[in-house]
Structures are given as structure tokens and as C-alpha cells.
Chain A
Amino acid sequence: MTCEEFERVGWNAERDATVSAEERAAAFAHATHCPVCAAMEDSWLAAKMELRGLAAVTEGAETPARVEMRLRQEFRARHRSVRVRRGAMVLSWGLAGVAIIFSAITWVNWRNARHDLQVATSKNSQTSATEAGSGAQAPAISGDAGGSSEALIADSSGDFTPLPGSMFADSDSASIVRVRMQRGSLTALGLPVNEEQAGEWIQVDLLVTDDGLPQGVRLSP
């Protein structure tokens, strides 16, 4: 074994599993004959002892306790905030779900009500057309169409049912006109009427504005 080979193998022979027994024996034999390599190995052994000393000094070294405390605080804070965030997310999804369900129910109800109104209106229109053909007249705003009528000075607009599309804002300038007419004629004002009672005579008060358009209606006693 040469000095170069010894340098490569000799120092590490005892720790290196890849060095064969023959190489170890050759390294040992070389160290006994070569004073330079023997001195080198001695020197390394001395340095190794000193490294052992350094290792022993730091053997018991541990992270200070404050690090564990800091980490635990961080861990706690982190998982608390995750829990809060998760709770907020569940709550917001829940609220969104409730809002969607509420909107859907409202929409379905509105659609059903609209459909019912359309059905009633179309049926009443047919009835009115039939009645108009047999001589019955739709109530006129002037009050002379349905029979007896009288104009009253409006002093109150209470319990009037607003007609579809009416603006019930300025009731002081409106008049109340009492009209006698068949119940079916209310469909002409856009109100739903029970078809079975369409031919019944009723007396109603119409709230009429200055421009002659009825804004509300109520059954008069």
C-alpha cells in the first residue's frame, strides 16, 4: 500500500464499511513501516480525541425552554384561528343556503299567485264580455252607468282597496263616488271576482282622482 492509498483508506478504515478486511490489514501494515503515515495517523487520533471532547461538551445541549413555549403559543393561536375561520365559513354557507331557500319559496309563491290572478282575470273577462252582450254595462266613473250613484266629498280614504296600477298618494284631491253594479264588473277594474257570485248586485265606493281615474274601491254598506 502506498502513502496515498493509506491516506485514503487508513484514516477511515474503522468507520468505513466499504473497506475490506484485507485493505484494513494492509493499512495497518503500512502504518507500522511508514513513519510519516504513522505520525499522520497519530495526529488524526489526537485530533479525534479533541473532537470527542467538543462532542461531549455539546452532547447535552438542548433548545431552551422558551422555544417550546413560543411554539406552543403559536400552535394554539394558529389552530384557534383555523377553528374560528372554519366556523365562520360554515355559518356563511348556512346563511347563504337559508337565503337561497327563502328566495326560492318566495319566487314560487309569487309565481303561483300571479298564475291564479291571471286565471281569475281571464275567466272574469269572459264573464264580463258575456254580460256586456246581454245589456249589462261596466260601471262608469261618472257614476251614471251602474244605476244610482252619488258623488261625495272625500274626507277619508280609509279601508279602500287600491286598484292595480293606482297611485294612492294624494287622497285629498280625490272624490268618492258610490256606484251600484254587478260584482263581475269589478274584473274590469282589475280585481279578482268569485265567478259564482259575478251576477250579484253590490254597492261600492270608488275613490276617483281629479283626472277621472279610479284609484281605489271599497264595498259600501
Chain B
Amino acid sequence: MTIEERVADDVLLARAAKGDEEAFTLLYRRHQAALFRFALRMTGSAWAAEEIVQDIFMTLAREPRKYDAGRGALGAFLFGVARNRVMKHLERAPRDISLETDGEDTRIVSTVLQDSFTPAVWAEQRERVKQVRDAVLDLPSDFREAVVLCELEEMSYEEAAQAIGCPIGTIRSRLHRGKALLLAKLELLRDVPRRANAAR
């Protein structure tokens, strides 16, 4: 018997805690993509993102009682766990992100880009995406997080502040600094210096 899609996360988690594998799988399928994308955009490594997502759901399978429904939705809880794992990963290996650029990440970029472009345009586009990605990954983790959440995940300031657990003003200021740094990096990449105080 399959579990209906509309069953609430809490119900699924309760079933999973009792050993219902189908409920656990459905929970995983509901949340894995968003968590993987966030981890991928933050770490720049498909391998690290895969490990992080696996770790999150291992924790959920092992200790489902860690989640308290009274404190928010399961998605937010999982996002919080993902954020902690990402930060730990960045602290542990802050500079290992560039090692994988020719690996799976490039494959993801290539798969999406090769559909509608000529080889030359595709190569140029791919190079541009790589530069932007490197610029994002080069941001300090707090600023990167704000940029990833607000610009790549397209969250509102309120949602981002809730996800990170900080005031909206902090998000605004981090995003502003992040944008300024990003602009400076992208302009440096293009050799077009525009404004001296952009990265201040």
C-alpha cells in the first residue's frame, strides 16, 4: 500500500520512527532535492552535498525524536541540520572546493547547458557559470549563505532570516556586503574595475 502524497511530514516521521520504510523514503524524496541544492550551492561540491544529505537523513532515521513539531516544520528543521553540516564542512575543508570542478559539478552544468546552445555559446556560457560559481564560493560563508538563500534559492528576507535564525537586518547587511564582494570579484574576473568601494 502506498502512502498518499498529502500525508503530513509529522505523520510520516512518526511512521518512520516505528520502522515504516516507505514513510521514510517518501520523507527523503520530499526534501532531498532542496537540501542537496542548498548544500551544493554552499559547498560547490556534489560529493560534499551528497554526504551532507545522507548524513541528515541518517540522523533523522537514528534519532527521529530530535525533531520537535512544536518548534516548526520538518523542512525547516532539516534545513537547519543541513546548514550546520554545511558550516562544519566549510570549517573543516575551506579550500577543497576547487578540486572537483572537472567532476560531477561540471557534469551537472554541462547537462543543463548543452540542450539549447551551439558549442561555442555553450562553452562561453559554461565558463561564465563557472566564474560566477567560483565567485560565490569565494565569499565568506556568512555572506555566501545570504546570497545563496536570497539570490539562488530566491527566499524572501523573512524566510532567509527564519532559516538562518537571525534578524532581518542581519540578512540585509550580509546580503549587501555579499553582493558588493561578488560584484568586485566578478568585475575583477572581467577586468572591468568599476567602483573602488564596492567590496568595502
- How far, in angstroms, from A18 to B19 measured CA to CA in the complex? 46
Question: Interface range on chain A: under 10, 10 to 19, 20 to 34, or 35 or more?
Answer: 35 or more
Which of A43, A44, A75 has a CB less than 8 Å from the CB of B21? A75
Q: With an 8 A cutoff between CB atoms, is A84 at the interface?
A: no
Q: Which secondary structure dominates where chain B touches chain A?
A: helix
Q: With an 8 A cutoff between CB atoms, is A33 at the interface?
A: no
Question: Interface range on chain B: under 10, 10 to 19, 20 to 34, or 35 or more?
Answer: 35 or more
Contact A54 B28 (CB under 8 A): no
**Given contacts A8-B176, A58-B40, A63-B33, is CB(A68)–CB(B158) below 8 Å?**
no
Q: With an 8 A cutoff between CB atoms, is A82 at the interface?
A: yes
Contact A39 B154 (CB under 8 A): no
Shortest CB distance B59–A (Å): 11
Q: With an 8 A cutoff between CB atoms, is A47 at the interface?
A: yes
- How far, in angstroms, from A135 to B28 measured CA to CA in the complex? 99
Q: Which secondary structure dominates where chain A touches chain B?
A: helix
Q: Among B5-13, B50-58, B71-79, which stretch is in contact with chain A?
A: B50-58
Contact B53 A79 (CB under 8 A): no
Residues of chain A contacted by B153 (CB below 8 angstroms): 55
Residues of chain B contacted by A71 (CB below 8 angstroms): 24, 28, 54, 57-58, 61
Contact B50 A36 (CB under 8 A): no
Which of A40, A58, A79 has a CB less than 8 Å from the CB of B19? A79
Further 4 A-B residue pairs, CB within 8 A, beyond A58-B40, A71-B24:
A18-B168, A58-B41, A71-B57, A72-B24
Question: Chain A interface (Cβ within 8 Å of chain B)?
Answer: 7-8, 11-12, 15-18, 36, 39-40, 43-44, 47-48, 50-51, 53-64, 67-68, 70-72, 74-76, 78-79, 82-83
